[in-house]
Amino acid sequence: MSKKFNKHMVLIMAVLLVSLILTACGGSEDTSSESSIIEAIQNSGKIVMGTSADYPPYEFHKQIDGKDTIVGFDIDIAKEIAKDLNVELEIKDMDFDGLLAALETENVDIIVAGMTPDEERSKSVDFSKVYYDPEQGLLVRNEDKDKYQSLDDLKGMKIGAQKGTIQEDVANDIEDAQVKALGKITDLVLELKNEKIDGLILAIPVAEAYDKANDDITLSPHIDFGKEGGVAVAIKKGNDELVDAINSTIDRVMEEGLLDKFIQDATALAEE
């Protein structure tokens, strides 16, 4: 009887010990995976952002001192995020529709690409707070400036939008529209100039930047598709500490009036 009791005790203690160890490991794993992305970023000395640098004044290519450089107010915000984390900023430029996959495969740490935090994307990534919220408009050739007076006039139109964007959805909602979706906005601008498409849906600040940089295309003064839902930084799911850190940088940048300055500077730089 007492032998049997001893056997049981040993078994119970063994089970208790194992479950204790498992709980302890599980617990530490949880906290370490939460803080580890910031730790990993700090250990590597850099934060890697993914972007699609075809989006002035947010992010675009510019010759600076004879060198091709990616600039824009998203880049300025990302530099502040890097500064607050005490690391360097590395930029990876790709097509917009490759960004979410790049984040999920950890090819980049964050996405800063004028990305709108919609429901669909929120299933696979987390978002910071919204830092900017523009309207959407239509870029057309100069001669068509007054051709489209209302959304009804767009029926059946050959219309372009960047692949994988909210604007592609807006285009698809236009009755009978023939939608052309491409990876790079710069290619869509060429399609517009070459009369392959007759309109290009863009956030208005971006449409204005392309308008100013090109003599033959202009923002339609009559068409407004409304807001797209603002833009935010995307972060891989389950990294709340990084989301918090980025949100406090965004708060600081807004409170210090830096965001307005970044937008003004980038808009001027895009026009040069």
Selected range binding ligand ARG among 55-63, 84-92, 244-252, 259-267, rule: CB under 6 A: 55-63
Q: Is 114 in the site for ligand ARG (CB under 6 A)?
A: yes
Q: Is 131 in the site for ligand ARG (CB under 6 A)?
A: no
Q: Is 166 in the site for ligand ARG (CB under 6 A)?
A: yes
Q: Is 113 in the site for ligand ARG (CB under 6 A)?
A: yes
Question: Whole-angstrom Cα distance, residue 108 to residue 91?
Answer: 9
Selected range binding ligand ARG among 111-119, 122-130, 140-148, 242-250, rule: CB under 6 A: 111-119
Least Cβ distance, residue 178 to ligand ARG (angstroms): 20
Which is nearer to ligand ARG, 165 or 249 (by Cβ)?
165
Q: Is 162 in the site for ligand ARG (CB under 6 A)?
A: yes
Least Cβ distance, residue 238 to ligand ARG (angstroms): 22
Question: Pattern 231-250, binding to ligand ARG, x per CB under 6 A?
Answer: x-------------------
# residues near ligand ARG by CB under 6 A: 17
Q: Is 116 in the site for ligand ARG (CB under 6 A)?
A: yes
Q: Is 91 in the site for ligand ARG (CB under 6 A)?
A: no
Question: 183-218 burial, b if ≥16 CB within 10 A, otherwise e?
Answer: bbbeebbebbeeeebbbbbbbbbbbbbbbbeeeebb
Torsional sign, CA 124, 228, 73, 201: positive
Selected range binding ligand ARG among 21-29, 161-169, 174-182, 219-227, rule: CB under 6 A: 161-169
DSSP string, the chain: -HHHHHHHHHHHHHHHHHHHHHHHHHHHHHHHHHHHHHHHHHHHTEEEEEE-SEETTTEEEEEETTEEEEESHHHHHHHHHHHHHT-EEEEEE--GGGHHHHHHTTS-SEEEEEE---HHHHTTEEE----B--EEEEEEEGGGTTT--SGGGGTT-EEEEETTSHHHHHHHTSTT-EEEEES-HHHHHHHHHTTS-SEEEEEHHHHHHHHHH-TTEEE-SS---EE---BEEEEETT-HHHHHHHHHHHHHHHHTTHHHHHHHHHHHHHH-
Q: Is 52 in the site for ligand ARG (CB under 6 A)?
A: yes
Which is nearer to ligand ARG, 113 or 157 (by Cβ)?
113
Q: Is 54 in the site for ligand ARG (CB under 6 A)?
A: yes
Q: Is 60 in the site for ligand ARG (CB under 6 A)?
A: no
Q: Is 115 in the site for ligand ARG (CB under 6 A)?
A: yes
Least Cβ distance, residue 60 to ligand ARG (angstroms): 9
For binding to ligand ARG (CB under 6 A), which residues are involved?
Answer: 51-52, 54-55, 58-59, 96, 113-116, 162, 165-166, 185, 228, 231
